[in-house]
Chain A
């Protein structure tokens, strides 16, 4: 059974507190809850909804040890809310010199599988809950020794982690790099996919972007439904960031997602 929900954002907090229809799952951004007094807020949310925690600053793809402070903070947060799982990008967002603050792609090869799997196991051990590894949108492709689906299958198998498939990132990548996202999806071993991210894409000239700033388009719904039919997805999250639609529109999109889940079941 797939739970459906939204990514927690401060802008939506009052609506979420009102326990709106069709919302039965929340994903909270770890970086927004590092302050101790906000962890009380998180505990209150955890008492109301099943929660997943999304982390985006561990930089699993950076060679060398993980940042101990960041990992400790995430582990402390996980201890407060006991989430279903935590998730982190399959990417690097930092080097020893510069903090990029967003996801940069990694090279799909054996050494990267080993690096991220080792980091992922450390995160899961420290947090005491499963870790899901999240796919990212990227304009840059780094040539490696494996195709991306093979890399992801190997990574999940080696690390023991599930996959958080960002449906919109997959669609955007398919447009920017010219491949069929449905074929790509079928190459992923179904048991790996545990969670989906779904949002609207945008376009800037000939670039396709995963910006969470538009209503969810039909192409995305179709791909999401294909993912729900392909894999035993446990949770699906709608993401809104750049522009927040009226809450009624969010409720409609949650209802559409539930219907898609029903058809895929």
Chain B
């Protein structure tokens, strides 16, 4: 770092900063990015927002962190230079370290202001970036118009990629398109209606065996055969397996009867999600104490579903073991009680809670893994028209066979990072208002990490945390975001 001098910088117009505990959330609306800043970076950012000259930021940073001025200057200068290069802050940044062509291209492709500078004065831009001498010729030969088109195209691709990735687990099977099965007239043997999240689905099965398999998994969602259906699915048995049709179009298929429950449950999940208005969808279990909810976000294999099933037999209402949907505005959790998927390894530990579980039909997933689809107990089901309930706890469960079962508080910033990692769908672009709402929501939620080696102990800890309804903890804060 060659001296930050009296450089003055300002935050770019499309950024917003929100304090969260002793950390900060930096939101860049144009790029739809959320960055978690540690305490030191938050200090630097807030100083920039306050218009503090760079040299003064360095001295303040040195004092706050107990560093020498030179060391603080190196750290702060690197941060400011990077933020300048990426376009989060504007103004003449501090003198740069040397960067290579790839780093310079990365900055050009995400920072429209830098591209404008490059188009107007490529030499000066190369100097300000501190571009390595050997890369200068290639850099100066770049075509500004091509850079703009490339940046635009990449931004569009990133947006599409985000949607594609988010949709991956959502499995939009409707896209299969029309493929009418011919040569067989369809007269259903059994008709039944299922209701989930304000959507009623009529399922017409070709055989009683198909119906029985599905019925045992979806008992808790049965709405009576005379209910008015929003959509109808037909299950047709053919020579090669079982096809599921919607309006004559193939939307699901399986070779064997023991795979049918999985196909139907996935279809119901996707079709209902398509018809449901929500803001976030998380990979999480949700349990309620009757007044507020605990959200348990975790990747598959973490023991989340097993814990959720046990909690549903231990005084909690079961909202979901996998698909947590949060409403717009208030981010309340809505019930989405599909049956719990119980793998072979979990049957033994859940048997004390569900004695009939070992005798339930075994289904096969698409990887041929044997599972049982376990409906929640009737007394754990939320009411049919249950509105969203406020979230009061976020608990990240993780099964560790040799660790002690324990619950540890988690800083809100760390919780946000882990929460977003399990976030599967965001139905609208983030803006300042909904990011502020998200941060505000997090401020009002107590976050924990739950290490699980003993299921009964984990259930006891969750009961102690959430049952009965307790007074709100003192760490509830009010929302103040800046700007």
Contacts and interface: CB of A to CB of B under 8 A. Distances in A.
Contact of B253 (A10, A17, A243): A17
B226 interface: no
Given A95-B106, A102-B154, A17 B366 contact: yes
Contacts of A245: 177
B299 A35 contact: yes
B82 interface: yes
B101 A97 contact: no
Nearest to A41: B367
B366 A44 contact: yes
B157 interface: yes
B150 A63 contact: no
A203 B331 CA distance: 39
Interface in A56-70: 61-63
Interface in A207-265: 207, 209, 211, 241-249
Contact of A18 (B157, B165, B253): B253
B483 interface: no
A14 interface: yes
B369 A207 contact: no
A146 to B, nearest CB: 12
A14 B85 contact: no
B149 A244 contact: no
Contacts of A209: 153
B176 A140 contact: no
Number of contact residues on A: which range applies?
35 or more
A143 interface: yes
Contact of B171 (A10, A142, A241): A10
Interface of B is mostly: helix
Contacts of B179: 246-248
Contacts of B285: none
B160 interface: yes
Q: Report, as a range, how many residues of chain B touch the other chain.
A: 35 or more
B150 A139 contact: yes
A72 interface: no
A171 interface: no
Contacts of B301: 35-37
B106 A100 contact: yes
A244 B161 CA distance: 15
A246 B174 CA distance: 10
A160 to B, nearest CB: 24
Nearest to A144: B138
Contact of B153 (A94, A139, A242): A139
A92 B102 contact: yes
Contacts of B82: 97
Nearest to A177: B146
Contacts of A246: 176-179
A126 interface: no
Interface string A8-34: 001111110110000000000001100
Nearest to B100: A63
Contacts of B157: 101-102
A104 B109 contact: yes
A246 B178 CA distance: 6
Contacts of A10: 167-169, 171-172
Contacts of A14: 173, 176, 250-253, 263
Contact of B367 (A44, A143, A144, A211): A44
Interface string A37-79: 1001101100000000000000001110000000000000000
A107 B138 CA distance: 8
Contacts of A140: 142-143, 146-147, 149-150
Contact of B103 (A44, A95, A143, A248): A95
Contacts of B189: none
Contact of A100 (B149, B158, B162, B250): B158
A32 B169 CA distance: 9
A138 B153 CA distance: 9
Interface string B132-153: 0000011001110011011001
B161 A102 contact: yes
A97 B250 contact: no
Given A92-B105, A101-B157, 13 more contacts: A18-B253, A35-B301, A36-B301, A43-B367, A44-B366, A44-B368, A98-B86, A100-B158, A101-B161, A104-B105, A107-B101, A142-B142, A143-B137
Interface of A: 10-15, 17-18, 31-32, 35-37, 40-41, 43-44, 61-63, 92, 94-98, 100-102, 104, 107, 138-144, 207, 209, 211, 241-249
Query: What are the 8 A-B residue pairs with the smallest beta carbon separation, nearest first?
Result: A246-B177, A95-B106, A40-B367, A140-B150, A244-B175, A139-B149, A143-B141, A139-B150
